Amino acid sequence: MKFEQSIALTGVRTFLGTNLCIRLQNIPGIKLTVLDKHRPSFLKEDVRFYRIDLTDPKSDQMIYDALERENVDTFLHMAFFEGKVPASSSYCHEVQAIGTWYVLNACAKKKVKKFILSSTTEVYGAHPMNPNLIKEDAPLRPNPSYRYIKDRVEAEELTKKFAKKIPSTKVLILRKCPVLGDKVKNFMTWYLSGAIVFSVLGFDPMMQFLHQEDIIDAYMRFTVGHDEIPGGIYNIAGKGALPLLYITRLMGKINIPMFYSWLYALCMIMRSAGISPFPPQHIDYIRYTFVADGTKAKDLAGFIPKYSSREIVEEFAGYIKLKKSKIRSAPKS
């Protein structure tokens, strides 16, 4: 069978990776190759699978062998920690930065036609000097002590060097804003799930969200076909933005403002106790605005999110209430 496009994916065990796999494996004319440490149960039998650990120093050669064998022309790299940041910063660096380097080495050797890096608007940094809407050419100013985000920035820098070195490959960096939904696990879904929401005293940043269906649609648009979309960096941004304190009221939460130093200390304790999936540096993202401008993705790729940030928050609030009511009504053993 002759395939129109041969696509390889990493990071398929995240919400986004899983759902992209499920969609892609059901499209006629697409040959799908998955690279991971374990074969996911949702893969169809005809999907090619290669057991690869991105912390293995030999993984670049292993990836290249897989790409060559399956004649891959499109590579989508999503192997990043989205739902929980590992306690070991060195392991996190190995996967996110060094792992990206291995992937890029293999793609350079194979000279794939298209390379897509899944990134985040968090690389802009939660910074007091951020404009109301951040464009793709804005400087990246993450917290210097936040190694998880520094790894994401390093992955982007490696990808930009790859784009210059291999001009025949179309390179796309997709910076997605926070995704909110009942199937998603990330900082915001954890932060907004409790009855009490802590905020930084004196700060009320604007926040934007993407619906879980919109993010899948966006990545499908950039991955499958659409050869007219030029390479470059794209913000995959939500529609509209809301102040954090308004979000907490909309969701019926109890908001407790705290001094930054107190909240930081509390987050350190929660992290040490295994309660918080993210380091205390992440509270910068509920302190300062980092709202991205999605105009470029709209104008050059035709991506327009279906759901507004308000609709997404209201839907998520309904999910949290339903989940709590089910817990209350569950029979006690």
Tokens standing for residue 146:
């936040």
Given the candidates 3.40.50.720, 3.60.10.10, 3.30.920.30, 3.30.1490.20, the CATH classification of the domain at 5-186+210-239+291-308 is 3.40.50.720
Please, what is the angle between helix 15-24 and helix 212-223, to 10°? 50
Does residue 25 contact residue 43 with C-beta atoms inside 8 Å?
yes
Q: How far apart are CA 258 and CA 224, in angstroms?
A: 46
pLDDT of residue 227: 86
* 152-203 pLDDT tens trace: 999 999 999 999 999 999 999 999 999 999 999 999 999 999 889 999 999 9
* 106-118 pLDDT tens trace: 999 999 999 999 9
pLDDT of residue 328: 60
pLDDT of residue 306: 96
Task: Enumerate residue ranges in the chain where pLDDT < 50.
Answer: none
Does residue 121 contact residue 237 with C-beta atoms inside 8 Å?
yes
Does residue 197 contact residue 248 with C-beta atoms inside 8 Å?
yes
The candidate with the shortest Cα–Cα distance to 320, out of 185, 181, 208, is 181
pLDDT of residue 133: 95
Which phi and psi angles does 176 have, rounded to 5°? -90, 140
Model confidence, pTM: 0.94
pLDDT of residue 32: 96
